Amino acid sequence: MIEPLLQVALDLCAHLAADDRYRRLAEAARRLIPCDAIALLRLDGDVLLPVVVDGLRAEAVARRFAPAEHPRLARILAADGPVRFTDSTLPDPFDGLFAADSDALAHPHACMGCRLVVDGEVTGVLTADALAPSAFDAIEDETVAMLAALAGAAMRTAVLIDAVELAAARDHMVARQLVADVLQRGGGELLGTSAAMAKVRHEVALVARSELAALVTGETGVGKELVAQAIHAQSRRHDRAFIHVNCAALPESIAESELFGHVKGAFTGAVDHRAGKFEVAHGGTLLLDEIGELPLSIQPKLLRALQSGEVQRVGSDRMLRVDVRVIAATNRDLTEEIRAGRFRADLFHRLSVFPLHVPPLRERRDDVALLSGYFLDVARARLGLGQLRLTPEARARLHEHDWPGNVRELEHTLLRGALRASDGRRHETVVIDVADLGLDPPRVEMAAVAAASTVAPGAVAPVPAGATRPLRDAIDDFTRQLIASTVADAGGNWAEVARRLGLQRGNLHRLATRLGLRPRS
């Protein structure tokens, strides 16, 4: 029994990343305590945040647990030593999140926990669940207390290391006109464990260390603004202003004044001097969101500001020097906009020194479970509900959906599903089923598939009235259907499928993976 404790103690002195430190701690805890699920949670204000879970679903990591809503956690936090729950009627906070069986923790089982205390301060809790009610009978309280003490020290070590490495301490708050607005917008971390999101985080860290202009591209709802905020937060300008400008909301008549400012009397309604967004963002970062919507007449003036670092207020003949890091974002294909004469090529090259593409949700389906857990927690807080759970069928439907609206659509779908499933109920577990999500295929799309199945080879299927949709989505759906039917006809022989479709096997596998027909390696 001493070996797991020794390993945790040795890890305290090792140079480990936080994720590795927590993972090794969970492994050691499960060797010491024979359990089916274990969780380490950090106390942040009045909520407990999971830092590592083992034996629970991935969505558990994104949940937030308020002790006031979870009597077991509240009792653990209030106790001086380990607390055991064997036949307790108190609900388990992880009910519905057990990896092997979502309903397992709703039945009698063994549960124990101990608060983590460092330097007299409660920093979190360690919990363990076992399906056998007598699983912890042979475990001594002293052993659990020793593990909790080491776990608390490990957590404190990880937090301190992260604080140093990320230089999180700030010496002052930025007092700028729109900083309060940016903070109110919420922001958030870049959630996701998929390879695609790992690449995005790597590129964010890479470009953040530079002063290069960045162009963030991606479909509507993928989180381009979050990426821009992450770049700013990791840059040397992190303690200065982050100013957001929605170019799509700038009428041509006031766009120049909004960006560069104006002097009193410059035009009707200019009753006072006013700084533009470039001046407000001096020393910080300026996000030009929806840059593809910027009026063509303003683009030369923006290009001049980027090239010279100087702006000129409307009605003034004086140039003002500004130090601004510019990040642009768009869901448009700017190369196509250039060909159509709606966007300047020289401005595009000035903005896209470091292009960063945010992948759509359908290309990182592995992140759906984690994001779902996060948004269910958001929905619970916004709607004032009890615990929210997904049925296995609803979880599968979320994973299979193509998400044309991406992360934003997923958030709204879960918020809508939670409201429907609750039906006005409060303070009790709400189970969200497929019907609550409202993700059934539209009738127009079903009719199109049915019509396509009756068309002779080589012919073009008629498009039902009102079925207009993006060409890329229609092509993906047709390709997905064709590959799936060919796989079925070939008995699952992918080499035969590639031969029939006239594709190289590697290209077929990559295409099928992108369309969600094969698991990502």
Q: For position 376, what pLDDT does the model report?
A: 92
Instruction: Decide if 141 contacts 104 (C-beta within 8 A).
Output: no
Mean pLDDT, rounded, for 27-32: 83
Q: For position 384, what pLDDT does the model report?
A: 86
Q: For position 162, what pLDDT does the model report?
A: 58
**Rounded to whole angstroms, what are the CA distances from 31 to 25, 39, 462, 514?**
10, 14, 62, 39
Q: For position 468, what pLDDT does the model report?
A: 57
Q: How far is CA 188 from the centre of its chain?
A: 8
Closest alpha carbon to 421 in 380, 456, 453, 360: 380
Mean pLDDT, rounded, for 332-344: 91
Domain residue spans of the chain: 2-166, 179-357, 362-437, 463-514
- Lowest pLDDT segment from 309-313, 402-406, 464-468, 496-500: 464-468
- Lowest pLDDT segment from 104-113, 168-177, 256-265, 285-294: 168-177
Q: For position 454, what pLDDT does the model report?
A: 46
Mean pLDDT, rounded, for 426-430: 79
The 8-class DSSP code of residue 22 comes to H
What does the alpha-carbon distance between residue 108 and residue 88 come to, in Å, rounded to a whole number? 8
Q: For position 148, what pLDDT does the model report?
A: 84
Q: How far is CA 150 from the centre of its chain?
A: 31
Mean pLDDT, rounded, for 339-365: 93
Q: For position 62, what pLDDT does the model report?
A: 84
**Could you tell me which CATH number the domain at 362-437 has?**
1.10.8.60
Read off the pLDDT of residues 454-488 as tens digits, 9 standing for 90 and up: 444 444 455 555 555 566 677 888 888 888 888 88
What does the alpha-carbon distance between residue 143 and residue 403 come to, in Å, rounded to a whole number? 48
Q: For position 343, what pLDDT does the model report?
A: 93
Task: Quote the percentage of the chain above a pLDDT of 70.
Answer: 83
Options 3.40.1350.10, 3.30.450.40, 3.60.150.10, 3.10.450.50; CATH of 2-166:
3.30.450.40
Instruction: Decide if 451 contacts 464 (C-beta within 8 A).
Output: yes
Task: Quote the percentage of the chain above a pLDDT of 90.
Answer: 27
Q: For position 519, what pLDDT does the model report?
A: 62
Give the CATH architecture of domain 463-514. Orthogonal Bundle (1.10)
- Spatial CB neighbours of 86, under 8 Å, sequence gap ≥ 6: 108, 110, 111, 133, 134
Mean pLDDT, rounded, for 357-361: 93
What does the alpha-carbon distance between residue 268 and residue 253 come to, in Å, rounded to a whole number? 12
Which long-range contacts (C-beta less than 8 Å, at least 24 apart) are formed by 330-339? Answer: 330/215, 330/216, 330/217, 330/224, 330/290, 330/291, 330/292, 331/217, 331/218, 331/219, 331/220, 331/224, 331/290, 331/292, 332/292, 332/293, 334/215, 334/217, 334/291, 334/292, 337/292
Closest alpha carbon to 188 in 144, 223, 149: 223
What does the alpha-carbon distance between residue 294 and residue 311 come to, in Å, rounded to a whole number? 17
| Greater model confidence, 218 or 508 | 218
Q: For position 15, what pLDDT does the model report?
A: 59
Q: How many CB atoms neighbour CB 205 within 10 A?
A: 12
Closest alpha carbon to 313 in 256, 272, 363: 256
Residue 441, pLDDT > 50, answer yes
Q: For position 460, what pLDDT does the model report?
A: 47
Kindly indicate the confidence band of residue 344, based on its pLDDT and cuts at 50, 70 and 90.
Answer: very high
Q: For position 14, what pLDDT does the model report?
A: 58
- Would you state the structure tokens that stand for residue 174, as one six-digit string? 């930025």
Tokens 């982050």 correspond to what residue? 242
**Could you tell me which CATH number the domain at 179-357 has?**
3.40.50.300
- Would you state the structure tokens that stand for residue 361, as one six-digit string? 């949700």
- Lowest pLDDT segment from 95-104, 448-457, 459-468: 448-457
What does the alpha-carbon distance between residue 319 and residue 401 come to, in Å, rounded to a whole number? 52
Closest alpha carbon to 325 in 421, 415, 214: 214
Helix, strand, coil distribution of the chain in percent, nearest 5: 45, 15, 40
Mean pLDDT, rounded, for 4-10: 60
Beta bridge partners of 389: 431
